[in-house]
Amino acid sequence: MNRIAERFARLKRQGEKGLIVYIGAGDPDLEATRQLALAFDQAAVDVLELGVPFSDPLADGLVNQLAAQRGLASGATPPKLLQTVAAIRRASEIPIVLYVYFNLLHRHGVQRFIADAATAGVDGLLVLDLPPEESDDYEALMRAAGLCNIYLVAPTTPEDRIELIVKRATGFVYYVSREGVTGMQTKVSDTIGPMTAKIRAHTDLPIAVGFGIASPEQAAAVAASADAVVVGSAVVNQIAACGRSPELVPRVSRFVRSIVHSLKPAHEIPSR
């Protein structure tokens, strides 16, 4: 079974909510990405989402744009990132999703990119700018490779299109909790409950809610309506503050553990 599907099945059996953590790959370098991935696994993060550095990340706010720039500056190309995923796999089975723009797949060759990702140990792709209506060949290649193709649903998505999107998605549905780009917010949207209910009317897939969740309190509030919570910019901001400091992994891990605890207070989290 795909690691993403397996993890969500386990969460459902245990009656727990999941945590998906996003970081920019190669920020500040790929060795830090490897170390953070292993630390997040130890902290009971359920899915790791790695942003593949790209020069024009149009879905991202300033925090993640700057992370992409730092990733590019550190030399984090797609082939080197896949080597890093393979290195993570030697020590961890944490489910991994690549958050990627289609231009990078096109440049690499879509079939080759998917095959290389599967070989490295990637479990799913979230291609930000590839709509389901144009994804027939991509979805067939993903199915053949055993990878989950994850799609976004936005607050402005009409119900008939929600139905189309979720029927073509696998792994989980990523609900963007607010309009606009990624970035931390002072409060969560009050439409999350109604929108997740609307999505659930059309699918049994888990629903992960992200964009703007910046604190343990916000994560807990969102988890009341979601199967999983996605925290990205708040973690990336911690990484930016640490840079190449020896405190990078411990400090970021402490922040991530605080979010895990808000979602799974009874979960025994290793102290290391």
Q: Is residue 268 part of a domain?
A: no
Position 268 pLDDT exceeds 70: no
139 is catalytic: no
Binned at pLDDT 50, 70 and 90, residue 191 comes out as confident
Q: What is the pLDDT of residues 212-241, one digit of tens each?
A: 898 999 999 999 999 999 999 999 999 999
Q: Is residue 153 part of a domain?
A: yes
- Residue 133 CA to residue 258 CA, distance in Å, equals 39
Which range marks the domain in which residue 187 is found? 3-263
Q: What is the pLDDT of residues 135-154, one digit of tens each?
A: 999 999 999 999 999 999 99
Q: Is residue 272 part of a domain?
A: no
* Residue 28 preceded by cis peptide, ω within 30: yes
Binned at pLDDT 50, 70 and 90, residue 267 comes out as low
60 is catalytic: yes
Q: Does residue 145 sit in helix, strand or coil?
A: helix
Q: Is residue 90 part of a domain?
A: yes
Q: Is residue 25 part of a domain?
A: yes
- Residue 210 CA to residue 218 CA, distance in Å, equals 11
Supply the pLDDT for residue 57. Answer: 85
CATH number of the domain encompassing residue 121: 3.20.20.70
Catalytic residue of the set 29, 49, 116, 227: 49
Q: Is residue 245 part of a domain?
A: yes
| Residues 228-255 as b or e (16 or more Cβ within 10 Å = b) | bbbbbbbbbbbbbebeeeeebbeebbeb
Q: What is the pLDDT of residues 71-130, one digit of tens each?
A: 999 999 999 999 999 999 999 999 999 999 999 999 999 999 999 999 999 999 999 999
Q: Is residue 269 part of a domain?
A: no
Indicate the number of domains in the chain: 1
DSSP H or E run through 173: strand 173-176
- Residue 267 CA to residue 19 CA, distance in Å, equals 13
Catalytic residue of the set 60, 116, 123, 227: 60
Q: Is residue 183 part of a domain?
A: yes
